[in-house]
Chains A and B, each alone.
Chain A
């Protein structure tokens, strides 16, 4: 009935991205590994030379309502490499969230191209996008958006089941993820019983359940207090360290400084796209500004 993987297909999918789980050290992934010798600072890493994981060109999103059209995204060209952590910043209304939704196929683009893992995906149907999301795109939202009907365990297992995992595989994966996130004892709880931070950690586990190539996070800490923010960011970091590509929208410069690169949007256009490179003083990176203030 469902369009899940046909019987006999291995799970996790063989063509899954190089990203590895919280625990795994890359055994599951067949993709090219990013050389990451121990002790090397993040900033030292060069952009991976291979084809980009995600690439857009001339991406435009126009909302039309009551005869008025609003251009939320106006010709965005960005590229995210495999395993890269990119933060998108910008003032309210600059089109950050819209861009993220379009990149995840939650909304269709008005024009422009989206390439994901070397395939052009902007022309996909709603169903096509849905199937793509199952395996290759994970979402984390500001308001967690856990399925209220389902227990924490079911919430985390659902994406794996959807992607064709057996119940046993899904359970095993869920147990790993929740243990990693310190939520093993909450598996049977209803999402409404959890605190905001716990809910966001569950949402993160759900997004990472299928080891997606790309994790899209829309203000993941926007609704959390400082200690929960720290927890969630630590988890994102850890995922990234294991090779997970992340595209995160945030308002918060300190949160953004965690990324390899920060893209600034202004009025739906890329105003600034800079890698955060620790270097000599005087380079105008956001992180340096933060460090100066700190």
Chain B
């Protein structure tokens, strides 16, 4: 044990740079993994972070106005009671569109509990009495930003104009429109203007509980309910909400996001051990002589293996700890908010998650070290005595190359790739695996990017949906038809329909007519061209356990319709549980003409928001214009994650390259002198080394990219299929991108090897040639030896 420790200490001291590189790579992977998990957890469940940052209430109780709430603080289980505030129901009026809102009266001084978190503009100010702060998801849904003026109607018809001065997040209730009403915070004076009748307002009290578990929370709520809504009294408690309800409502059920998280985890899990195995193998290669000597001194093979395992695991633990700290520092500062506005928290990870990642990393490091360590255990002690003779010979090709006066550096550099097979393999694999991962990550990026840049590719050709709102349909149609920003429009109708013979529903959509169907993205089969034909999303086909070519007879809008499914579309809506057909299918089946909406395909370069504004202006706010939701908007956070992972993978690849190059150069150190003696200039010697590294990099990077290009679309399509959108969503990388990746990789490899090669040539200059020449025999007489 003491011997092992002594060796490990000396080894770490002697190879400080390498040890630091290992720790750095592991720290990078762990930090990236943590940040990605936090980001994705935040995206999947933003409540936790919001709750922490807004010091949210565990329970919100809505009392009738005037209820005496002083007893609350003395109830068992209640830790703190927030300042009660008034709330009143009202309506936000935007032309024909009316949205239910709840006004909440808060003061310019933020409360200690449930303080809304301002994300844009400012909080309420005493100086601006008509100022209003909107809840963020509500503001986004109704397209209202800071500086806008909004019209709020009270229940009795009072209308009040307000100035939007801020947008804020809260953990008090879920996102709009899933959770209504929309929240607007105003000062008490403004609330009284909208709702002068105090009996129409509620008093909202937030509670923090000693024990916020589901059971304890429901117990407290029950106690309050019984206390205030006793049989003799009026029901003083009108409603309540608990943190569990809010959390559940905020939790995203975006399966695609979850799957991408899994993909990222797999990438990190594969890349990290690859890097560590590579670094360890490199160390063993470089230390072969010393390991052999240790064995000659009496280290057992098991001891050598355990020693390497322990050393690498210690480095892994150090890296994991460092990564943890780094992730903490990076994520402590800001609450991320991607451009699409949906709040994405960096949810602080629970202790079990941290432990899982930490222990997982250390175990991964240990596992990745097992093979190189075992290999070190098998090093023969004889290696200490006999440096292995160089293998390989000048091949025919090499000789031919020299004969036709190819540069000697090129020939010798290329030859090295073949004669030093193990280091060459290490380099190639060390680069190929991260490159596979990088290619997969970039293909994910390009797919997500494709969603946003070309929504038609995933079946979202129409950016805007219009319903006639307050206008007669002919007038609405005329307005749409005359809009110069509209390329095409398709009448459509949508029905929630029961699955035939099964529990559950799907969306049946009539879009366009069979002779002029909506431009669906059909990835399998063909578009419908007859009234009895339909296309469906993957989710629907999975639900029904059918494939393209099946006949089905769902009851749509009360009328049975017989349809032949002739194709599969990419369908981002409703988890792909969608059946599409022409309006003529309904007409032929004899159903009544439905209420039509119009899906508008805009001209290239026209933004959906601009089209919406123009249509609203043209119709004097009479049309109801909705923007199509793009599933990629929720994936904005994924792009951050992908960028981080690509950086980490690049660092891993670079670390592998440096290790392999260092191993190669160490082997070359003795040769450099020989090459020089043969008449190669220092520059040629350097060129030999650089050519060697560059060729290996080219092989590794190219094979990695090729493998990635094969694997990535399959992985992504598999994810598409599982998420219901359907396979066929993957967008490949362009040839230009691939060429760029290759060029960058080669440039980095050449630069790194040039740097190391300069160092080596310089070292070889100063060091003596190590050749096992026999020195002159001692001349002393035997007799003189005998009697020293």
A residues with CB within 8 A of B: 1-4, 97, 101, 104, 106-107, 126-127, 130-135, 139, 141-143, 145-151, 154, 157-159, 161-163, 165-167, 170, 206, 218, 221-226, 229-230, 233-234, 237, 252-255, 257-258, 287, 290-291, 294
Residue B781 at the chain A interface, CB threshold 8 Å = yes
Residue from the list B290, B382, B778 in contact with A148, Cβ < 8 A: B290
CA distance A263 to B755 in the complex (A): 53
CA distance A69 to B515 in the complex (A): 83
Tell whether, in the assembled complex, residue A162 and residue B385 are in contact, meaning their CB atoms are under 8 Å apart: no
CA distance A167 to B384 in the complex (A): 26
Residue from the list A104, A159, A255 in contact with B778, Cβ < 8 A: A255
| Complex contacts, B776 vs chain A, CB 8 Å | 225-226
Given contacts A133-B298, A222-B774, A257-B782, contact A97 B6 (CB under 8 A): no
Residue from the list B296, B302, B382 in contact with A127, Cβ < 8 A: B302
Residue from the list A4, A101, A229, A291 in contact with B780, Cβ < 8 A: A229
Q: How far is the CB of A218 from chain B (nearest CB, A)?
A: 7
| Complex contacts, A3 vs chain B, CB 8 Å | 300, 302-303
Residue B293 at the chain A interface, CB threshold 8 Å = yes
Tell whether, in the assembled complex, residue A254 and residue B778 are in contact, meaning their CB atoms are under 8 Å apart: yes
Residue from the list B2, B299, B785 in contact with A130, Cβ < 8 A: B299
Residue from the list B3, B287, B782 in contact with A258, Cβ < 8 A: B782
Tell whether, in the assembled complex, residue A130 and residue B295 are in contact, meaning their CB atoms are under 8 Å apart: yes
Q: How far is the CB of A101 from chain B (nearest CB, A)?
A: 6
| Complex contacts, A107 vs chain B, CB 8 Å | 380-382
Residue B14 at the chain A interface, CB threshold 8 Å = yes
The closest CB in chain B to the CB of A106 belongs to B381
Tell whether, in the assembled complex, residue A154 and residue B778 are in contact, meaning their CB atoms are under 8 Å apart: no
Residue from the list B3, B15, B295, B381 in contact with A158, Cβ < 8 A: B3
Residue B620 at the chain A interface, CB threshold 8 Å = no
Given contacts A1-B4, A149-B15, A229-B778, contact A159 B785 (CB under 8 A): no
Tell whether, in the assembled complex, residue A106 and residue B382 are in contact, meaning their CB atoms are under 8 Å apart: yes
Question: Which 5 pairs from chain A and chain B are nearest by CB?
Answer: A134-B298, A162-B3, A226-B778, A127-B300, A149-B14
| Complex contacts, A142 vs chain B, CB 8 Å | 385
Tell whether, in the assembled complex, residue B6 and residue A158 are in contact, meaning their CB atoms are under 8 Å apart: yes
Tell whether, in the assembled complex, residue A162 and residue B778 are in contact, meaning their CB atoms are under 8 Å apart: no
| Complex contacts, B301 vs chain A, CB 8 Å | 126-127, 130
CA distance A92 to B295 in the complex (A): 26
Q: How far is the CB of A166 from chain B (nearest CB, A)?
A: 8
| Complex contacts, B11 vs chain A, CB 8 Å | 149
10 additional A-B residue pairs with CB within 8 Å, beyond A252-B778, A258-B785: A2-B1, A4-B2, A130-B299, A139-B296, A149-B10, A162-B3, A218-B385, A223-B774, A226-B779, A255-B778
Tell whether, in the assembled complex, residue B384 and residue A141 are in contact, meaning their CB atoms are under 8 Å apart: yes
| Complex contacts, A104 vs chain B, CB 8 Å | 296
Tell whether, in the assembled complex, residue B296 and residue A106 are in contact, meaning their CB atoms are under 8 Å apart: yes
Tell whether, in the assembled complex, residue B774 and residue A1 are in contact, meaning their CB atoms are under 8 Å apart: no
Tell whether, in the assembled complex, residue B296 and residue A258 are in contact, meaning their CB atoms are under 8 Å apart: no
Residue B351 at the chain A interface, CB threshold 8 Å = no
Residue from the list B15, B306, B385, B777 in contact with A145, Cβ < 8 A: B385
Residue from the list A146, A162, A287 in contact with B782, Cβ < 8 A: A287
Residue B363 at the chain A interface, CB threshold 8 Å = no
A-B contacts, 16 listed (Cβ < 8 Å) = A4-B1, A101-B385, A106-B382, A133-B298, A145-B296, A149-B7, A149-B10, A149-B15, A206-B297, A223-B775, A229-B778, A229-B780, A233-B785, A237-B788, A254-B778, A255-B778
B residues with CB within 8 A of A: 1-4, 6-7, 10-11, 13-15, 287, 289-290, 293-303, 306, 310, 380-382, 384-385, 772, 774-786, 788
The closest CB in chain B to the CB of A143 belongs to B772
Given contacts A149-B14, A258-B782, contact A162 B299 (CB under 8 A): yes
Residue from the list A145, A159, A165, A294 in contact with B289, Cβ < 8 A: A145
CA distance A149 to B294 in the complex (A): 12
| Complex contacts, B382 vs chain A, CB 8 Å | 101, 106-107
Tell whether, in the assembled complex, residue A257 and residue B297 are in contact, meaning their CB atoms are under 8 Å apart: no
Q: How far is the CB of A117 from chain B (nearest CB, A)?
A: 16
The closest CB in chain B to the CB of A164 belongs to B2
Q: How far is the CB of A152 from chain B (nearest CB, A)?
A: 11
The closest CB in chain B to the CB of A192 belongs to B767
Given contacts A3-B303, A106-B385, A222-B774, contact A145 B293 (CB under 8 A): yes
CA distance A143 to B773 in the complex (A): 11
The closest CB in chain B to the CB of A167 belongs to B2
Give the most central of B300, B772, B774, B783: most A CB within 10 Å: B300
| Complex contacts, A130 vs chain B, CB 8 Å | 295, 298-301, 303
Q: How far is the CB of B546 from chain A (nearest CB, A)?
A: 62
| Complex contacts, A290 vs chain B, CB 8 Å | 781-782
CA distance A66 to B774 in the complex (A): 30
Q: How far is the CB of A126 from chain B (nearest CB, A)?
A: 5
Give the most central of B3, B14, B299, B772: most A CB within 10 Å: B3
Q: How far is the CB of B549 from chain A (nearest CB, A)?
A: 62
The closest CB in chain B to the CB of A135 belongs to B298
| Complex contacts, A4 vs chain B, CB 8 Å | 1-3
The closest CB in chain A to the CB of B292 belongs to A145
Given contacts A127-B300, A162-B299, A224-B775, contact A148 B782 (CB under 8 A): no
The closest CB in chain B to the CB of A133 belongs to B298
Tell whether, in the assembled complex, residue A150 and residue B10 are in contact, meaning their CB atoms are under 8 Å apart: yes
Residue from the list B13, B384, B777, B788 in contact with A230, Cβ < 8 A: B788
CA distance A157 to B2 in the complex (A): 10
| Complex contacts, B289 vs chain A, CB 8 Å | 145, 148
The closest CB in chain B to the CB of A196 belongs to B775
CA distance A146 to B294 in the complex (A): 10
| Complex contacts, B298 vs chain A, CB 8 Å | 130-135, 159, 162-163
Residue from the list A2, A146, A252 in contact with B777, Cβ < 8 A: A252
| Complex contacts, B385 vs chain A, CB 8 Å | 97, 101, 106, 141-143, 145, 218
| Complex contacts, A206 vs chain B, CB 8 Å | 297
CA distance A233 to B10 in the complex (A): 30
CA distance A104 to B298 in the complex (A): 10
Given contacts A159-B298, A223-B774, contact A1 B6 (CB under 8 A): no
| Complex contacts, A163 vs chain B, CB 8 Å | 298
The closest CB in chain B to the CB of A149 belongs to B14
Given contacts A148-B290, A163-B298, contact A230 B785 (CB under 8 A): yes
| Complex contacts, A234 vs chain B, CB 8 Å | 785, 788
The closest CB in chain A to the CB of B306 belongs to A1
Q: How far is the CB of B665 from chain A (nearest CB, A)?
A: 16
Given contacts A4-B3, A130-B298, A145-B293, contact A151 B10 (CB under 8 A): yes
CA distance A102 to B775 in the complex (A): 27
Q: How far is the CB of A92 from chain B (nearest CB, A)?
A: 11
Tell whether, in the assembled complex, residue A1 and residue B777 are in contact, meaning their CB atoms are under 8 Å apart: no
CA distance A38 to B536 in the complex (A): 107
| Complex contacts, A126 vs chain B, CB 8 Å | 295, 300-301
